[in-house]
Amino acid sequence: MTLIPDEVIEQVRDAADLVGLIGEHVELKRSGSDFRGPCPFHGGTHRNFAVIPKKGMFYCFVCHEGGDVFTFLMKRLGMDYPTAVREVARRVGITIPERGAGPDPREPLYSAVAAAADWFARQLRENPEAEPAREHLRSRALELETVLPLGLGFAPRGNAFQEAMKTLGIAEPVLLETGLLVRRDDGSLYPRFRGRLLFPIHELRARVVAFGGRVIGEGEPKYLNSPDTPIFHKGKLLYNLHTAKHAIRKAERALLVEGYFDALRLTLAGVEEVVAPLGTGLTADQAELLARYTAHVILLYDSDDAGLRATFRAGDELLRHRVRVSVATLPEGEDPDTLVQRQGARALAEVLKDAVDIFERKIQILERKGFFGSLPGRRRALDRLLPTIRAAADPISRELYLSRAADVTGVRKDVLEREAGTQPASAPAQSPVPAVLVPAGAEKSLLVLMLEGEPWRARVREAVEAEDFEFPTYRAVFEALVDDAPDRLDETAARVFEALRGDGLGGRNADEVFTGAVNWIQARVLERQVDAIDRELPLAPDDRKLALVLEKKRLSAEMNARYPKFKATRRRGASGT
């Protein structure tokens, strides 16, 4: 059996006549924009079975079977996934390329996660222990009938999950590999998700590959995601993209929100072009993924300080992928979920209508804080504007940003070009780099810079994220500095914090330290992307391998350009300062 490329599966799904195919098995009648009929799975006589062409899905409100066109054939006719894809392809006249060899070794993992998703959904519907989760949904004005078609579930406490999976014949090693079970220090296994409302996370083929869980009642962390597995890489997927991608193309824009409930609320309100990262800042892979579907993204994050930091980091990442970025400003104290819940989709439409370019939004905030009223303030303002100018890969956007920055700061445009490193090749910018930087050395240097105060704290905060710190204690110190909360550090991190305060720059040039450390860390990010390609290559279909090899060469060249001594330093495995 051959592996079918993702893009071919998408093409087949898009071309499928969902109503016509299901109509061969069910007597359907139009009901508004949907179609209704008796359920073919539980043998019902009432029209509780819905086919929803706009979302490419079906759902029974009695037995709760649901899915896409491939799922219908699998559940109705007993086909496996590749056979279902081939059958639909045959009907729509699409040829499946016959390349690659052998079954997908990850199929047992997909099957295990699918079985878990069905079981979790049943717990949310029926388990008395899930009543607090159902009440939590009701408190957010979300009825069970509304959210069940979207696959929400509940993970009870105890070992009921393990027992259920054992009954289904799913082996514990498979569940361990999917991250659904966790191994204790004594070797015993327990469910990762306990006492949590679960949001299924889908890959682009619309298969569930992971879960995000919100704790119900007391417990930490508030949100817990599946770990990275052979079928799930958190930084490479976006929540809800599997259904939103069609709406994104149609609307010629995507809305990027922070959380699961934000995306859920907007989708239910009819705003379907919405996606969310998976509990972290937007990654380069996620930005690249969005850029495949649209050239315009509107950021709809919270308007508090933390939300603004996340907004501008996400915006800069999108600008690096030539995406036009706008920022919609929510009323104080509101997030997308609460705004739509209280005031409806019309209020959201007004907010989106007033969205402004991300660079203009930065200027608005700086003006409101009075940065442009003094020379030191203008210098600090430029420290905040320059990262966005540097991030703009589109030359026209970069030119516009430079002109606007020159207008508001009174600094000549040619000076800003040199400062931003965007001057013509005839006058190359100098990028001094320290002779050697190693993991802890780069991370420590950035923390020392942050302790120098502004503008360095802002510049470091704009350039890197907590996930970029490999050394956990340095990561904790970085997060404390970002939130201006060193008092929350544990004893070990507090001692490191005090030591860093005493070290200082030691006479080193701050600009050189910053440039070298950031380049080193960004080279490390590129290295991870290269490693991910190396892992993917053996399993990739033949028609994708060339693209992967070319992308690996591009990343390696960029990595070497950012920090020529990077690979040699990594090989030595140094960890000094």
Q: What percent of the chain has pLDDT over 90?
A: 45
Query: How many CB atoms are located within 10 Å of the residue 276 CB?
Result: 27
- As a whole number, mean pLDDT of residues 70-75 equals 88
- As a whole number, mean pLDDT of residues 56-73 equals 87
- Phi-psi domain of 446 (left: phi exceeds 0; alpha: psi -120 through 50; beta: other): alpha
Using CA atoms, how far residue 324 sits from 286, 290, 327, 560, in Å, is: 15, 11, 10, 28
- As a whole number, mean pLDDT of residues 21-45 equals 88
**Residue 49: strand, helix, or coil:** strand
Q: Which residues on adjacent β-strands are paired with residue 57?
A: 52
Span of 75-84, 169-178, 414-423, 558-567 with lowest mean pLDDT = 558-567
Cα first-last separation, the chain: 52
Label the pairing between strands 296-299 and 324-327: parallel
- Give the tokens for residue 166: 């054992």
Query: How many CB atoms are located within 10 Å of the residue 174 CB?
Result: 16
Interatomic CA distance for residues 350 and 367, integer angstroms: 23
Q: Does residue 430 surpass a pLDDT of 50?
A: no
Output the DSSP codes for 106-175. Answer: THHHHHHHHHHHHHHHHHHHH-GGGHHHHHHHHHTT--HHHHGGGT-EEE-STTHHHHHHHHTT--HHHH
pLDDT, tens digit (0-9, with 9 covering 90-100), for 474-509: 888 898 888 877 777 777 778 788 777 776 776 778
Q: Does residue 120 contact residue 153 with C-beta atoms inside 8 Å?
A: yes
**Residue 30: strand, helix, or coil:** strand
Which value, in Å, is the radius of gyration of the alpha carbons in the chain? Answer: 26
Q: Which residue has the tokens 């390609």?
A: 533
Q: Does residue 321 contact residue 288 with C-beta atoms inside 8 Å?
A: yes
pLDDT, tens digit (0-9, with 9 covering 90-100), for 505-552: 767 788 888 888 888 887 777 777 877 787 777 777 777 778 888 888
What pLDDT score was predicted for residue 188? 93
Span of 211-215, 423-427, 499-503 with lowest mean pLDDT = 423-427
Q: How confident is the model at residue 55 (pLDDT cuts 50, 70, 90)?
A: confident
- As a whole number, mean pLDDT of residues 171-184 equals 95
- Give the tokens for residue 167: 């009954």
Q: Does residue 143 surpass a pLDDT of 60?
A: yes
Displacement of CA 542 from its chain's centroid (Å): 28
- As a whole number, mean pLDDT of residues 287-314 equals 91
Closest CA to 406 of 419, 394, 392, 393: 419
What pLDDT score was predicted for residue 497? 82
pLDDT, greater one: 175 or 435: 175
Q: Does residue 348 contact residue 267 with C-beta atoms inside 8 Å?
A: no
Q: Does residue 489 contact residue 501 with C-beta atoms inside 8 Å?
A: no
What pLDDT score was predicted for residue 4? 77
What pLDDT score was predicted for residue 2? 53
Q: How confident is the model at residue 165 (pLDDT cuts 50, 70, 90)?
A: very high
Span of 144-148, 257-261, 265-269, 528-532 with lowest mean pLDDT = 528-532
Residue 139 CB burial class (10 angstroms; 0-12, 13-18, ≥19): exposed
Residue 48 CB burial class (10 angstroms; 0-12, 13-18, ≥19): middle
E strand map for 57-114: 57-60, 66-67
